[in-house]
């Protein structure tokens, strides 16, 4: 029941930052003047591109004349694929491939082809950094792939990684904005970076122009802070006191796992919520897993034997590193289940093979693409299994009466 409760809280966080709803509401709240452009071209880039494009269609209707959608493999919903006039490109994440370059070149051509009487609308979300790329003169795709992979393996922050990506790109760091030549445009962002800075989101794909006139109106419509607030609200609606961390987390996943386990153990409230993004320094031959699984397994070692403690760590985009799992939910029995499967949790952590251990424990979380990407959520629960079952049973009965 605690797993079900944690998943319910996680779902509440995802719902608050879901791309379709956030995009639709943002556009409806800023309707253009009647004399404004009747035609809109939309370029949606990132892991949330599919859902954001649907939100734009909801708000713009027939005004949406052309759509360029660039996203990660497997992240295009059937409804988005059926949108009229949609041109769809899928590419690799987190390391770009030849399709990323093709998509980057197509985006440049798309900007150059904008008619004077069309309003450009850009929908940018996390993941855009690897999904579109045009290397600087003198660099090859192989150079970009190598530098990106080295950055990911070294455990540097997303902000620093995106700054590096911008330096070896002809399309990022405000360079695409400069290509607009000072024409008016709008850009909506779903942020997965600290500070929610458009100069960093997607490596500055629609950040301030590096040179020349900049007439882009920018707005961040969803961030991890929104998701954290929604989790706390959902917990309180269930009758559970909740507390969020005052700042976003970053840094080493293993150190954070230790910290969160300690804070949960010492907590005076049943629900603790953290939002941010950790990093993992990878060995030469890493196993299966991602930063959230690594963090969760670290925490599992420290809450072992405590029957009232459980913790969820998951990516809001539904993926964790190179895996298709969002993350994991661990409790006081996780390490015992791993040991029964004849695996060593410590050894799995050393080899960056947390996913194998957590799969053996039955603790992985799989959501599929969520339609958003604002970073990672960690939700700690200090509640017995019986108390969680009683609470959910009462809530189910109440909801059944309402229906």
pLDDT per position as a tens digit, 261-284: 999 999 999 999 999 999 999 998
Note the CATH number of domain 2-13+225-402: 3.40.1480.10
Q: What digits encode the pLDDT tens for the residues 352-394? A: 999 999 999 999 999 999 999 999 999 999 999 998 888 888 8
Note the CATH number of domain 18-222: 3.40.50.10180
Q: What is the mean pLDDT of the chain?
A: 93
Do the two domains 2-13+225-402 and 18-222 of this chain adopt the same fold? no
pLDDT-based confidence at residue 395 (cuts at 50, 70, 90):
confident
Q: What digits encode the pLDDT tens for the residues 201-252? A: 999 999 999 888 999 999 999 999 999 999 999 999 999 999 999 999 999 9
Bridge partners, residue 277, by sequence: 250
Whether residue 382 contacts residue 264, with contact meaning beta carbons closer than 8 Å, is answered with yes
**Helix 354-361 and helix 291-303, axial crossing angle in degrees, nearest 10:** 60
Q: What digits encode the pLDDT tens for the residues 199-211? A: 999 999 999 998 8
Q: Report d(CA 272, CA 261) in Å as an integer.
A: 10
Q: What digits encode the pLDDT tens for the residues 65-117? A: 999 999 999 999 999 999 988 999 999 988 999 999 999 999 999 999 999 99
Q: Is the pTM of this model over 0.85?
A: yes
Return all residues near 1 (Cβ < 8 A) that are at least 6 apart. 385, 388, 389, 392
Q: Report d(CA 87, CA 83) in Å as an integer.
A: 9
The per-residue pLDDT for 34 is: 46
> Average pLDDT in the 32-39 region?
61
- Percentage of the chain modeled with pLDDT above 90: 81
pLDDT for 153 beyond 90: no
The domain locations on the chain are 2-13+225-402, 18-222
pLDDT for 144 beyond 90: no
Cis-peptide into 251, omega within 30 deg: no
Token couple for 211: 């040179």
């Amino acid at each position: 029941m605690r797993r079900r409760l944690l998943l319910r809280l996680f779902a509440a966080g995802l719902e608050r930052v879901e791309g379709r709803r956030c995009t639709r509401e943002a556009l409806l709240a800023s309707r253009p003047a009647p004399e404004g452009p009747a035609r809109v071209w939309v370029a949606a880039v990132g892991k949330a591109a599919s859902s954001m494009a649907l939100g734009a269609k909801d708000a713009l209707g027939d005004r949406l004349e052309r759509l360029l959608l660039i996203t990660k493999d497997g992240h295009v919903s059937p409804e988005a694929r059926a949108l009229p006039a949609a041109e769809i490109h899928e590419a690799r994440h987190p390391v770009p491939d030849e399709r990323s370059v093709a998509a980057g070149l197509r985006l440049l051509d798309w900007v150059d082809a904008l008619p004077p009487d069309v309003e450009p609308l850009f929908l940018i979300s996390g993941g855009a950094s690897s999904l579109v790329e045009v290397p600087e003169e003198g660099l090859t795709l192989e150079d970009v792939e190598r530098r990106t992979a080295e950055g990911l393996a070294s455990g540097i922050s997303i902000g620093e990684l995106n700054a590096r990506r911008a330096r070896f790109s002809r399309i990022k760091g405000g360079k695409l904005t400069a290509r607009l030549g000072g024409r008016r445009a709008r850009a909506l962002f779903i942020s997965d970076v600290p500070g929610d800075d458009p100069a960093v989101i997607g490596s500055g794909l629609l950040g301030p122009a590096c040179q020349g006139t900049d007439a882009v109106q920018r707005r961040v419509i969803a961030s991890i802070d929104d998701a954290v607030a929604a989790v706390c609200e959902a917990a309180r609606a269930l009758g559970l006191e909740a507390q969020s961390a005052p700042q976003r987390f970053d840094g080493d996943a293993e150190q954070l796992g230790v910290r969160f386990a300690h804070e949960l153990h010492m907590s005076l409230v049943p629900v603790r919520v953290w939002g941010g993004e950790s990093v993992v320094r990878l060995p030469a031959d890493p196993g299966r897993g991602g930063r959230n699984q690594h963090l969760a397994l670290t925490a599992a070692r420290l809450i072992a034997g405590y029957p009232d403690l459980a913790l969820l760590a998951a990516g809001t985009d539904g993926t964790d590193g190179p895996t298709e799992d969002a993350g994991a939910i661990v409790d006081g029995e996780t390490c015992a289940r791993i040991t029964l499967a004849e695996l060593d949790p410590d050894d799995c952590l050393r080899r960056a093979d947390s996913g194998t251990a957590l799969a053996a424990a039955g603790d992985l979380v799989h959501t599929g693409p969520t339609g958003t990407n604002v970073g990672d959520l960690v939700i700690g629960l200090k509640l017995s299994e019986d108390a969680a079952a009683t609470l959910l049973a009462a809530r189910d009965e109440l909801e059944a009466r309402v229906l």
